[in-house]
Amino acid sequence: MTRKLDGQRLVIATHNAGKLREISALLAPYGIECLSAGQLGLPEPEETGTTFAQNALLKAHAAAKAAQLPALADDSGLSVTALGGRPGVYTADWAERQWFEGDPGRDWYMAMGKVEGLLAQQGAEVDRSCWFSCTLAIAWPEGDEAVYEGRVNGAFCWPPRGTMGFGYDPAFIPEGHDQSFAELPLAEKQRISHRADAFAKLVAEQFGA
């Protein structure tokens, strides 16, 4: 049986401000006090896994152990069909500035441009379909764990559009919409996103009857 959250406090084991905002909003109706990894001064573990689940578990266990509280981590990324699912688990790495110019920090525009560059090599008629994946992992200090996976399909658009959201949002148009995740109101992203899909499964198991 999966362990369930029984206390009020939960560490949100992410150093990404955009994720923290979305996860805190998704948790708001459930009376959970969210403590962020940044707020607690927790280190950012190296993401050595080769799957979203491995990385999410690694981040959740590291935070749970360090804070001695249950912790929720999110590992996510964008997979492009015509690129064989890349960048996938390596989506954040593609945005590392040092990858481009030996300079720490992240540059989403450069990373989206790298995806576009690889797609453009395949010609104007290239399949632009892609999907965002999100794996949420909860870990407890005693070692228990729970994993929830979500996905949203869409198309990679270029040039990027919109100013809301974070990361690759300006280049992603979810299926059934004409606007990118960075143009849609946050409430709509929170209804259909990969994170929302994983979160619905978490809610059903953790907070369900």
Ligand X SMILES: O=c1nc[nH]c2c1ncn2[C@H]1C[C@H](O)[C@@H](COP(=O)(O)OP(=O)(O)OP(=O)(O)O)O1
Active site residues: 75
Binding of ligand X at residue 151 (CB under 6 A)? no
3-state helix, strand, coil in the chain (%, to 5): 40, 20, 40
Contacts with ligand X, 109-148, as mask; x by CB under 6 A: -----------------------x----------------
Of 38, 43, 2, the residue nearest 144 (C-alpha)? 2
Q: Given candidates 26, 53, 61, 74, which one binds ligand X under the rule CB under 6 A?
A: 74
Which range binds ligand X by CB under 6 A, 2-10, 23-31, 113-121, 162-170?
162-170
- Confirm whether residue 169 is marked as ligand binding: yes
H or E segment to which residue 151 belongs? strand 145-156
8 Å CB contact between 119 and 156? yes
Pair 89, 49: CB distance under 8 Å: yes
Q: Which of the residues 3 through 22 are near ligand X (CB under 6 A)? A: 14-16, 19
Pairing of β 172-174 and β 9-12:
unpaired
Q: What residues line the site for ligand X (CB under 6 A)?
A: 14-16, 19, 44, 47, 59, 74-77, 91-92, 95, 132, 165-169, 181, 193, 195
Enumerate the known binding-site residues for Mg(2+): 46, 75
Q: Which residues are annotated as a binding site?
A: 14-19, 46, 75-76, 166-169, 189, 194-195
